[in-house]
Structure 1
């Protein structure tokens, strides 16, 4: 196994700010609010709130008239030469700021071929993800509502803006609040052969036939190459 870091940043860029530049990285961008034009090596894409972009080019980000708030996931090799926590933060942009929400260590099998997926998971009030595993690790962040993650003997509750790592192979039970609907945004690393397929597997046979109230929307998938 090879060690990597999956980082999640929150970027806030002022309205109509001059272009903000990011170095090349394996990344996913989710637009939390506002809108942004993403310029990359092969073209450009305009993205409004509740949309995502995946790629590995160096970027220019142009915020719209209302500014933009982004969640930005980046996969880097652990201990990469010259790599620091500040390397992924926006710099030389006085109307922009970056906040590192989580810097999560993960392990990936270098003989496996991988993809990066960004999606949205929505629960009705009181919905539960029964005890399950996934085919790869990932970092989630709550958009609205509240979810409790019970795994490896620990339990943590995540409200809006709170991020967490799921290892994939470690079983997770995830109840949500009954007070309102809950939504989280997820970026995770999966085998390429999982393309277009659900990665979830239920640990207890009796859970397979239970009601699954959560709904999924995949924003995109992109094949990635490990260092």
Structure 2
């Protein structure tokens, strides 16, 4: 079955009306400010640097500083709306990235939001992941080399796609500063609490890794 996986940015000011989002498989990562995520059965406040994962209908209730939110969503390919907030005219909402993916309904899936931080000068050797995802660069820079050996420089605020198993990639990070990016990843459920990275070349399998991983949130979901 085919789906759309997308990343949006929502900037919700203090005086904004409550925003409503329909059912969808999604991550809400609070980049700045604070946000209460309301569902039919719960309220959860999230401060900057934390994430919520679920597939419920939700409402945004912002804190006293407003909120800047990165929102990853998985929706059926038949979805006609681009996902921007429709119920809060005082807010700003835009699509940062989007792509089509095929997910096998015979498999079980989870959605993960994590952060990877690299010391200056780190080189990520040729690798792949167990599922597709969209990255958003928080700081530093990533010179990513994708299929075909074509490099692409990604700076803070940029987003980029990695398709996972079928397309190994490598990358070089900023030489003088830490580099960090956030990811929304769709993975098999068996990867829960485990790394999704697989290094292609034998010499890299046991080599010490300099990067630091932090999983903000992950949850099993049912395909829409």
TM-score bracket, shorter-length normalisation: over 0.9
Ranges in structure 2 where 5+ consecutive residues have no aligned partner: none
User: Equivalent residue for 1:101?
Assistant: 96
**Distance in structure 2 (CA, Å) of the matches to 1:95 and 1:179:** 39
String of CA shifts for 1:128-152, please: whole Å, max 9, x gaps. Answer: 2211111111111101111122111
TM-score normalised per structure 1: 0.94
User: Equivalent residue for 1:29?
Assistant: 28
Structural mapping, 1:45-194, within 5 Å: 45-78=44-77, 80=78, 83-86=79-82, 88-153=83-148, 154-169=150-165, 170-194=167-191
Does the CA-based 8 Å contact 1:128-1:213 persist in structure 2? no
CA-CA distance at 1:204 after TM superposition? 0.2
The number of equivalent residue pairs is 222
1:184 counterpart SS class: strand
TM-score normalised per structure 2: 0.95
Ranges in structure 1 where 5+ consecutive residues have no aligned partner: none
2:203 counterpart SS class: helix
String of CA shifts for 1:49-94, please: whole Å, max 9, x gaps. Answer: 110000111111011111111000000121x2xx2243x1111312
Does the CA-based 8 Å contact 2:18-2:87 persist in structure 1? no
String of CA shifts for 1:17-57, please: whole Å, max 9, x gaps. Answer: 22111111100011111111111122111111110000111
**Distance in structure 1 (CA, Å) of the matches to 2:55 and 2:15:** 24
Does the CA-based 8 Å contact 1:13-1:68 persist in structure 2? yes
**Distance in structure 1 (CA, Å) of the matches to 2:206 and 2:178:** 23
Which stretch shifts more, 163-172 or 88-97? 88-97
Aligned CA RMSD, in angstroms, stands at: 1.2
**Distance in structure 1 (CA, Å) of the matches to 2:145 and 2:104:** 25
**Distance in structure 2 (CA, Å) of the matches to 1:157 and 1:106:** 24
Does the CA-based 8 Å contact 1:16-1:62 persist in structure 2? no
